[in-house]
């Protein structure tokens, strides 16, 4: 498993660079206005406080979560673009005998005030390569939009508690071999809570939420929960450890019988009528080039049974550009 994971990290990095190079170039342009405004040090179009939780007299220790990018939302109110890529390996025990998924996506966040922000946290293009049984498939993931509000914000001790609500819009069908990888339902509502605090050089974040299917026959509703720990080992270098969980609340009726236990985890929703709980652990690092640019690299794998899951392991690479 260790050798496979090391090989996957190498393959993911070499694959990710060309896939997000164009997006990274465009995102880097967002830093130009801030440089040009250095003398004035303010840029607040429409009265928005684009710095959000961060900036002079506000919070200063922002280390974005790495794994579970769909649901593990940072409590900080930021204006940023996060381009990420992951390589996802399907278990050999899966119905297809294994396979690969490559996904590239761009998350956007906009701070309106130091407590209120708009977020677009699920989108992207996925390419599925199955080893057998099913035909390969590719297409766009659903789109998720929402907002979040910092209920508690204490910059003096780097403590925040933020509540939010997202809506997942079912914009596209992904289907192969009669199995809908992304359903025809009415989307999802996702209320969530997320918080962070620090203990010296150690940072702790946690989140919990419910991804509620609006069509309970088509899709499965889940409870999602995440814990993140980071430590500033060297200046601006942060090793990261994370754990994520996904537990069904109500199960759909779209996939039944022998395939009824299939678990799409986070990106996909099979609407399975007997889906179980998946818990994953992950690790990696973030490096902050400055207050506006972060790079992340890491991997994640389940610690629960993989027999009916699409999750063997996953490798991440991302770039976060913030105001």
Per residue in 242-290, pLDDT (tens digit) is 999 999 999 888 877 766 777 778 888 877 888 889 999 999 999 999 9
pLDDT band at residue 222 using 50, 70 and 90 as cut-offs: very high
Burial of 46 (0-12, 13-18, 19+ CB in 10 A): exposed
Give me the pLDDT at residue 231, please.
Answer: 98
Token pair for 237: 């270098």
Domain span including residue 84: 2-322
* Whether the predicted pLDDT of 92 surpasses 80: yes
In DSSP terms, 237 is beta-bridged to 234, 287
Give me the pLDDT at residue 258, please.
Answer: 64
Lowest mean pLDDT among 27-31, 78-82, 106-110: 27-31
The string of pLDDT tens digits covering residues 293-302 is 999 999 999 9
Give me the pLDDT at residue 7, please.
Answer: 54
Torsions phi, psi of 156, nearest 5?
Answer: -60, -30
Q: pLDDT: is 138 or 189 the higher one?
A: 189
C-alpha 229/C-alpha 203 separation (Å) is 6
* Whether the predicted pLDDT of 14 surpasses 90: no
Residue 164 exposure: Cα atoms within 13 Å on the Cβ side: 34
> In the predicted model, what is the mean pLDDT of the chain?
85
Q: What is the CATH number of the domain that holds 286?
A: 2.40.160.40
How many independent structural domains does the chain possess? 1
Burial of 305 (0-12, 13-18, 19+ CB in 10 A): middle
* Whether the predicted pLDDT of 32 surpasses 50: no
Which one of 15-29, 93-107, 164-178, 277-291 scores highest in mean pLDDT? Answer: 277-291
| Residue environment code for 213-239, b if the CB has 16+ CB neighbours within 10 A, otherwise e | bebbebbbbbebbbbbbbebeeeeebe
Token pair for 281: 């652990």
* Whether the predicted pLDDT of 12 surpasses 60: no
* Whether the predicted pLDDT of 108 surpasses 90: yes
pLDDT band at residue 34 using 50, 70 and 90 as cut-offs: very low
Give me the pLDDT at residue 267, please.
Answer: 80
| Residue environment code for 165-185, b if the CB has 16+ CB neighbours within 10 A, otherwise e | ebebebeeebebeebbbbbeb
C-alpha 130/C-alpha 128 separation (Å) is 6
Lowest mean pLDDT among 177-191, 200-214, 255-269: 255-269
Lowest mean pLDDT among 4-8, 90-94, 203-207, 258-262: 4-8
C-alpha 255/C-alpha 247 separation (Å) is 17
Give me the pLDDT at residue 262, please.
Answer: 72
In DSSP terms, 107 is beta-bridged to 82
Share above pLDDT 70 across residues of the chain, in percent, rounded to a whole number: 85
* Whether the predicted pLDDT of 35 surpasses 80: no
Reference 140, options 271, 24, 268; nearest CA is 268
DSSP 228-290: EEEE-SBTTEEEEEEEEEEEEEE--SSB-GGGTT-B-TTT-B--BSS---EEEEEEEEEEEEE
* Whether the predicted pLDDT of 46 surpasses 50: yes
């Amino acid at each position: 498993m260790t050798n496979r994971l090391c090989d996957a990290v190498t393959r993911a990095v070499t694959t990710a660079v060309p896939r997000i190079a164009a997006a990274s170039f465009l995102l880097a342009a967002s830093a130009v206005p801030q440089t040009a405004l250095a003398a004035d040090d303010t840029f607040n179009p429409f009265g928005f406080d684009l710095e959000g939780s961060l900036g002079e007299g506000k919070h200063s220790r922002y280390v974005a979560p790495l794994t579970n990018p769909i649901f593990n939302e940072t409590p900080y109110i930021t204006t940023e673009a996060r381009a990420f890529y992951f390589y996802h390996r399907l278990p050999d025990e899966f119905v297809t005998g294994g396979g690969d998924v490559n996904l590239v996506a761009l998350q956007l966040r906009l701070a309106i005030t130091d407590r209120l922000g708009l977020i677009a946290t699920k989108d992207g293009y996925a390419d599925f390569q199955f080893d057998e049984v099913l035909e390969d498939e590719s297409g766009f993931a659903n789109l998720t939009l929402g907002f979040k509000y910092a209920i508690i914000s204490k910059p003096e001790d780097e403590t925040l508690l933020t509540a939010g609500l997202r809506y997942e819009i079912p914009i596209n069908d992904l289907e192969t071999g009669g199995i809908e990888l992304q359903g025809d339902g009415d989307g999802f509502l996702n209320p969530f809570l997320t918080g962070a605090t620090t203990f010296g050089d150690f940072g702790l974040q946690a989140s919990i939420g419910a991804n509620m299917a609006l069509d309970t026959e088509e899709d499965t509703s889940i409870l999602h929960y995440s814990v993140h720990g980071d430590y500033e080992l060297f200046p601006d270098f942060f090793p990261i450890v994370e754990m994520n969980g996904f537990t069904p609340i109500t199960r759909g009726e779209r996939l039944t019988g022998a395939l009824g236990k299939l678990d799409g985890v986070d990106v996909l929703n099979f609407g399975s009528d007997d889906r179980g709980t998946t818990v994953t652990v992950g690790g990696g690092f973030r490096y902050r080039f400055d207050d506006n640019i972060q790079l992340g690299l890491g991997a994640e794998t389940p610690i629960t049974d993989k027999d009916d899951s699409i999750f063997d392991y996953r490798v991440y690479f991302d770039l976060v550009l913030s105001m």
